Structure 1
Amino acid sequence: MMDTLTYRTAERWVDEGLPLEALEMLEPRAEELRATAGGALLLGRAYYRSAQLRKAEAELRLAVELAPADAYARYLLGRTLQRQSRHAEALPHLRLAAAQDPGYAGDRDACAARVG
């Protein structure tokens, strides 16, 4: 089981722009992390920040499945799809995220403009 200190260290490294270092800690424990929305989200964030977008997408889809009301997980999934030029797929996620948190409205609107 991943201890709290290891989890928080990996989280801090992602926040500080060191996602590859975080992934060195997280990937050996990926199956365990995927058991919770927070763990899947942390993996997704690390993959997103390291531009491993397909892996990020898979983890973020799981995070959204486990916690459909998590606006940030949904927002990051939308942004991940956008970075892959999959704007039409991103838009529903960004709409839901913006409905929960108006701070995401700008990204929703920018994506909607791309979709047409």
Structure 2
Amino acid sequence: MDLLEEYRKANVIFESGDPRRAAQVLEPIVAAEPHNSAVRQLLARAYFNSAQLAGAEAQLRALIEHDPSDHYAHHVLGRTLERGGRFREALPHLRLAAAMKHHQDYREAVQRVETWLGKSDPA
């Protein structure tokens, strides 16, 4: 298997709007190249976009374990946890990403989860 060609194919599939199929193409590449962060990140995004949240979480945690300063992995992990209704677990990752990189999407995610948690806590 030509891993680079398969990665390119998965990227095209993902960009064309079929994240589930992209994940299927990426899974054996990650198995063959477990330390390749670009492949693992694309697999995490494919899982997230196809609502395979457990898979996304596992890939993102592996990315963070490999590189704790990966602000994007923290952000997407936070979004994955948020999407799964795990707001308290999401917030530290979202805050950390926003502290590491000033980005509007990061700030908005923090505000959204903080607002949700504020509304769910009894006054």
TM-score relative to the length of structure 2: 0.83
Deviations 1:44-88 (A, max 9, x none): 111111100011111111111112111111110000000110000
Q: Quote how far apart the aligned CAs of 1:39 are.
A: 2.6
Structure 1 unaligned residues grouped into runs of 5+: none
Do 2:75 and 2:97's aligned partners in 1 also have CA atoms closer than 8 Å? yes
Q: Quote how far apart the aligned CAs of 1:93 are.
A: 0.4
Aligned counterparts of 2:67 and 2:16: Cα–Cα separation in 1: 25
Aligned position for 1:113: 115
Aligned counterparts of 1:68 and 1:86: Cα–Cα separation in 2: 21
Are residues 28 and 4 of structure 1, via their aligned partners in 2, closer, same or farther at CA, if it must alter by over 3 Å? closer
Aligned counterparts of 1:81 and 1:34: Cα–Cα separation in 2: 23
Aligned position for 1:39: 39
In the alignment, structure 1 residue 64 sits paired with structure 2 residue 84:
no
Aligned counterparts of 1:37 and 1:22: Cα–Cα separation in 2: 16
Are residues 5 and 59 of structure 1, via their aligned partners in 2, closer, same or farther at CA, if it must alter by over 3 Å? same
Aligned counterparts of 1:48 and 1:33: Cα–Cα separation in 2: 20
Structure 2 unaligned residues grouped into runs of 5+: 119-123
Aligned residues between the structures: 116
In the alignment, structure 1 residue 49 sits paired with structure 2 residue 81:
no
Do 2:57 and 2:77's aligned partners in 1 also have CA atoms closer than 8 Å? yes
Q: Quote how far apart the aligned CAs of 1:34 are.
A: 2.7
Q: Quote how far apart the aligned CAs of 1:2 are.
A: 5.2
**Amino-acid identity (%):** 42
Q: Which residue identity is paired with 2:92?
A: P
TM-score relative to the length of structure 1: 0.87
Are residues 29 and 4 of structure 1, via their aligned partners in 2, closer, same or farther at CA, if it must alter by over 3 Å? closer
